[in-house]
Amino acid sequence: MQRRDFLRMAGLAASATPLFGQQMQMPMPAAPAVGMPSLSGTDFTLRIAPVTVELAPNRIISTIGYNGTSPGPLLRMKEGVPVNLNVINDTDTPETVHCHGLLIPSDVDGSEEEGTPVVPPHGSRSYRFTPTPAGTRWYHTHTMSMDDLHRGGYTGMFGFLIVEGKDNPGNYDQEHYLALRDWEPYFTSQMMDNDDLDPTAPRPEKPAVLDTRPPGLEVASDTFSINDKSLGAGEPIRVRPGERVLFHFLNASAIENRHLSLPGHKFNVIALDGNPVPTPAAVDVLMLGPGERIDAWVVMNQPGVWVMGAPEDPVREGGLGIVIEYANQRRTPQWVPPPQPRWDYTIFGKPPSQPAPAERLDMVFEKIPRGAGKFNSFTVNGKEGPHDREFVLKQGTRYRLTFHNRTDDAHPMHLHRHQLEIAEIYGKATSGVIKDTVVVPTYGRASVDFTADQPGLTLFHCHIQHHMDYGFKALLRYA
């Protein structure tokens, strides 16, 4: 590490407490979650190298991270102000850093498929771009892992990237950035999904005859954390009755959609994937697919000591949670199962009012059991990625993209460098919900609109690493 970088990190670590210090209307009574330094300005350096993560005193894992930690530093950029992102790669493999949710050119987006130059092993590279739009974004490696569970998205290479706009919500007492994560993944043929908790969900794409061939191996985990700490191992979030706490949640998992709840409290969702929603609404349970973010505030009005965590017992007990402790309360953290999770993007939308799209594209998703030897493979319209010349966009055209999910899994579908407006999902029409990653339900259908206004190669893929690596991606290009 260069001395300059070290000084910068050290200085920021010391001043990291008031994250939105200047803009806050009330003083922050407690420190934010530890373990996540923050960097701001216009010149950012990320150093990729092995790190250890102390999930709990008796649970220390080795992985790869940024600037000595995982999650990496919170990067704070200003909307519209050009930045340099300098990436130093201290590992033996080429690396990429993808800025997820930003509308930036292909050659700096951080995807090799789009033509972004990689950071060579033991080399460095500088990317210059103008961050936009404002909101909760994130950055992560975009390399393939294939059958190596110590590479790519399975490592600790992820962090928050906040693009600050002119507006700031401001009206809260504390602010926390919480990344949901799993560690030490392994292969299994057991399906452990919790995507299908709602048996009443419509399944318009369920095939009349199901494929009964034995499935291949998928990736699972039993070890979880929020940021770098498993439930109970880190400092609690300390609150006082009546406080409004703003949470920025990120599912930084490479393998699974996750739910989250806080007994006795509701999440007031104000933004999805960093984009303000037309109809903020209070919910008991959040759902985040890999890659998704939710900004939500909570009024702390149930004094006690609570577990905010995953509703599924093995996941929460495996570490996916954090303790919320009210002042002057001393007791074992309490957990109460939430009502049936029923996540629905459309409650945050408004009645359909979007213009009719000029063009329509259909994508049929299928899973081929053991299509890749011992693993499943995934196809879009009958073929594995890259779909080099299949999806050719006309500049300036508004498209409606309809996903037909004929698989037994819910997939978080991510389009790089563009914003997706949900038009229909779960059989409901909506508008105004702007996302970059949309979880398409099991055997479900979803339509999203986007404007082709970002010329250049554009990657579309499932954000579950194993699915992306085994075919579930497509390269969109402009005519």
What residues are paired with 294 via a beta bridge? 249, 272
Interacting span for Cu ion (CB under 5 A) from 72-80, 389-397, 440-448, 455-463 = 455-463
Give every CB contact of residue 265 below 8 A, 6+ residues apart in sequence.
Answer: 298, 299, 300, 301, 302, 306
Nearest distance from C-beta of residue 107 to Cu ion, angstroms: 27
Q: Least distance to Cu ion from the beta carbon of 472, Å?
A: 5
Q: Kind and range of the H or E element at 369?
A: strand 359-372
- Shortest Cβ 404–Cu ion spacing (Å): 14
State which residue, 234 or 412, has the beta carbon closest to Cu ion.
412
Which residue number, 103 or 401, has a Cβ lying nearer to Cu ion?
401
| Residue 400 zone, left/alpha/beta (φ > 0; ψ -120 to 50; rest) | beta
The smaller minimum CB distance to Cu ion, of residues 137 and 461, is found at 461
Q: What is the CA radius of gyration of the chain?
A: 21
Q: Applying CB under 5 A, which of residues 433, 464, 475, 476 lies at the interface with Cu ion?
A: 464
Q: Find, among 364, 312, 336, the residue nearest to 474 by Cα.
A: 364
Q: How far apart are CA 437 and CA 420, in angstroms?
A: 8
User: Site for Cu ion (CB under 5 A): how many residues?
Assistant: 4
Q: By CB under 5 A, which span of 176-184, 250-258, 389-397, 461-469 interacts with Cu ion?
A: 461-469
C-beta separation of 261 from 284 below 8 A = yes
Stretch that binds Cu ion, among 218-226, 332-340, 405-413, 434-442 (CB under 5 A): 405-413
CB of 400 to Cu ion, least distance (A): 21
Interface residue with Cu ion, options 76, 137, 367, 467 (CB under 5 A): 467
Of the candidate residues 76, 140, 142, 411, the single one contacting Cu ion (CB under 5 A): 411
Please report how close the Cβ of residue 253 comes to Cu ion at its closest, in angstroms.
12
**How far is it, in rounded angstroms, from Cα 85 to Cα 63?**
22
What is the smallest separation between the CB atom of 461 and Cu ion, expressed in angstroms? 9
Share of the chain residues as helix, strand and coil, in percent rounded to the nearest 5:
10, 45, 50
Query: The dihedral of CA 117, 123, 129, 134: what is its sign?
Result: positive
Residue closer to Cu ion by CB (options 146, 233) is 146
CB of 411 to Cu ion, least distance (A): 3
Residues with Cβ within 8 Å of residue 14, at least 6 apart in sequence: none
Place of tokens 């009645």: 351
Residue labelled with tokens 């500049």: 395
* Cα dihedral 257/259/260/261 (nearest 10): 180
The span of 23-31, 227-235, 299-307, 460-468 binding Cu ion (CB under 5 A) equals 460-468
Residue among 46 and 464 whose Cβ is closer to Cu ion: 464
Query: What's the CA gap between 201 and 77, in Å, rounded?
Result: 39
Cα–Cα distance between 234 and 237 in angstroms, integer? Answer: 9
98 vs 467, which CB is nearer to Cu ion?
467
State which of positions 346-375 bind Cu ion (CB under 5 A). none
Sign of the CA dihedral 111, 76, 276, 289?
positive
Residue 151 vs 467, nearer CB to Cu ion: 467
Told to check if 466 binds Cu ion by CB under 5 A, we report no
Closest to Cu ion by CB, 316 or 467:
467
Given the structure tokens 């779960």, which residue do they identify? Answer: 426
Q: What is the DSSP string of 275-312?
A: EEEEEEEEESEEEE-TT-EEEEEEE--S-SEEEEE-SS
Q: Which stretch binds Cu ion (CB under 5 A): 128-136, 201-209, 349-357, 464-472?
A: 464-472
- Beta sheet of 97-100, edge-to-edge order: 38-40, 74-78, 158-164, 135-141, 97-100
Instruction: Report the residue number, 258 or 411, with the smaller CB distance to Cu ion.
Output: 411
Nearer to Cu ion, 131 or 385 (CB): 385
Q: What are phi and psi of 6, to 5 degrees?
A: -60, -45
Q: Mark the segment that binds Cu ion (CB under 5 A) among 281-289, 305-313, 408-416, 453-461.
A: 408-416
Quick one: which segment of 19-27, 124-132, 434-442, 456-464 binds Cu ion (CB under 5 A)? 456-464
Q: Taking the complex as a whole, how short is the minimal distance between the CB of residue 407 and Cu ion, in angstroms?
A: 8
* Residue 462 binds Cu ion, judged by CB under 5 A: yes
- Provide, rounded to whole angstroms, the least separation between the CB of residue 214 and Cu ion: 19
State in angstroms the smallest separation of the CB of 223 from Cu ion. Answer: 21
Cα gap 23→170, rounded to integer Å:
6
Verify binding: residue 406, Cu ion, rule CB under 5 A: no
Nearer to Cu ion, 193 or 198 (CB): 193
CB of 464 to Cu ion, least distance (A): 4
Q: Where along the sequence are the contacts to Cu ion (CB under 5 A)?
A: 411, 462, 464, 467
